[in-house]
Structure formats: structure tokens, C-alpha cells
Structure 1
Amino acid sequence: MKKCINSELAPKAIGPYSHANSLGPFLFISGQLPASPVNGEITVGDLKAQTHQVLKNLKNVLESAGSSLEKVLKTTVFIKDISKFNEFNEVYQTYFSTQFPARSTVEVAKLPKDAEVEIEAIAYLDHGVQ
């Protein structure tokens, strides 16, 4: 049975969706924006600062569901300026071990709240649905 997960440690959803859904041993995490879990405001700063916040939010959702960054199988990255790909990667690689998840990166014209980056993920749950 599907289980909806919403974390108190991540910004509230800005639409009709859950932070994540689990089914069996898999966790599907909605796109995370660089928003503060406290007030929902977008992180002020460059792409690196926003990427750090997105990955912190992703980590918090994973942990609230009983998973972790080490169990991420796939990420999809939406970035407004692909010319900043290397800047993004500098931050991204500090959150994952050498066994990086599979990943797609797509340049987009605009993101919600005019964010610079958004990341969604698929992760593994050792315990399945709880």
C-alpha cells in the first residue's frame, strides 16, 4: 500500500502533493526547492547556496521516511542555467559518496518561486512501507 510522507523538517508543499510517497522498498521524493523549512522563503544567494538548501531539504525528507542520501538511486535535477553545471556539481558531490546515484539534469526556463534549482529523487527503503 502507498504511504504519503510529509516532513516537518522540509518546507511545506506549495501545491497538492506530498513530500514523498513510498511503496514497497522504494521512496519517490517530490522536487525539492531551495526553500527554508521555517518560513518557506527561497534561499537568498547564488546557485551554490540554493543547491545546499535543496540537498538539505532532500536529506530531511529522506530521513523522515527512514532512508538516507546513501540510499538514493536516481535524481532528476532541474536547473535554470546549464552554464552553471560545474558550480552545481561542486556542491552536489559533497552530499553523496563515490557511489553516486544515477542522474538526469535538465535546463528549464523557470521554476516555482523563481528558484535556480530543484531536485527530485528515488531512493531505497530497507524496511519497505511502515
Structure 2
Amino acid sequence: MTRQIVSTDKAPSAIGAYSQAVRAGDTVYLSGAIPLVPETMELVSTDVRTQIVQVFDNLEAVCTAAGGSFEQVVKLNVYLTDLSDFPLVNEVMAERFSEPYPARAAVEVSALPRGVSVEVEGVMYLG
């Protein structure tokens, strides 16, 4: 099986030694997305809901670049610096995803890159 790197300028470029996503066969592994504006690489806002929306915008751009969509996302891991923001994640996901929803985990962490409030990574199956 070959690995194919997925990259798009519609999502923030990597800020470390990783790819935006890697496709292995029919599975695409989406790297953690944080709420940076792709064109400026700056934080979209300090408002948590706005950050969550930007994260899903960024993830959707990578899904599209990989030839898929949110309909094919099978697993998400959500990292929040304050788990009380989790209802906002549910609101945004209900706006962006359709049932059946992907499997998901949510974890509170002490800090995230660039001081953001949320990061989301996932797996998409294109088969």
C-alpha cells in the first residue's frame, strides 16, 4: 500500500513536522486542525465558538483535497482546554455533519498549540 500526502492551501499549512493528512489506501488520516486562518496563519478569534467553526472549516478543506467530505468521516478526536465548551462542539457538528454522525472522543487538555482552545483530528474512509 502506498501513502499519499494530502495538502491544500485552503487549510493552514503544517506548523511542524507533519502533513495535513495522509491517505493510505481508502483511509485518510486527518492531522489535528487548529483555528488558524489559512491565508494569515493567525488565530481566527478568541471566541471559542468561532474557533470551533474555523477548525471544522479547516478540516473540511483537507477532506475535500483528499477527495472526500464530512459524510465520509468515521472518527473524530476533539481536544479542548475547557471541557465546558463541549456543547459548542456539539452545536457546530450538528450544523456541519449529518446522521449517522462519526464516532468521537473528547478530551480536556492543559494546553494546545498557539494557545488555542480547540483542536480536532480525524479519520475519513473513502472506500
Aligning the two structures, in what range does the TM-score lie when normalised by the shorter sequence? over 0.9
Q: Deviations along 1:19-72, whole A, 9 cap, x unmatched?
A: 000111100000000000101101113111000000000000000010110000
Partner of 1:116: 117
Aligned counterparts of 1:95 and 1:75: Cα–Cα separation in 2: 13
How far the C-alpha of 1:89 sits from its partner, in A, is 1.2
8 Å Cα contact 1:62-1:69 kept in structure 2: yes
Q: CA deviation at 1:124?
A: 1.0
| Local SS of the residue matching 1:94 | helix
Compare 92-101 and 114-123 and name the one that shifted more. 92-101
- Structure 2 gaps, min length 5: none
AA partner of residue 120 (structure 2): I
Aligned structure 1 segments of 4 or more residues deviating by more than 6 angstroms: none
Residue number in structure 2 paired with 1:63:
64
* Letter aligned with residue 104 of structure 1: A
User: Is residue 11 of structure 2 the alignment partner of residue 10 of structure 1?
Assistant: yes
SS in structure 2 at match of 1:10: coil
- What TM-score results when the alignment is normalised by the length of structure 2? 0.96
Structure 2 letter corresponding to 1:87: L
How far off is 1:80 after superposition? 0.6
Give the gaps of 5 or more residues in structure 1: none
Aligned equivalents of 2:112, 2:96: Cα separation in 1: 22
Give the structure 2 partner of residue 45 of structure 1.
Answer: 46
Root-mean-square deviation (Å): 0.8
Q: What displacement does 1:106 show?
A: 0.3
C-alpha displacement of 1:6: 1.2
Deviates further, 89-98 or 33-42: 89-98
Instruction: Report the TM-score when normalising by structure 1.
Output: 0.94
Cα contact 1:73–1:124 (8 A) shared by 2: yes
Q: For the residues of structure 2 that align with 1:57 and 1:70, how far apart are their CA atoms?
A: 15
Measured after TM superposition, the shift of residue 93 of structure 1 is 1.5
Cα shift at 1:113? 0.5
Q: 8 Å contact 1:76–1:105 — kept in the other structure? A: yes
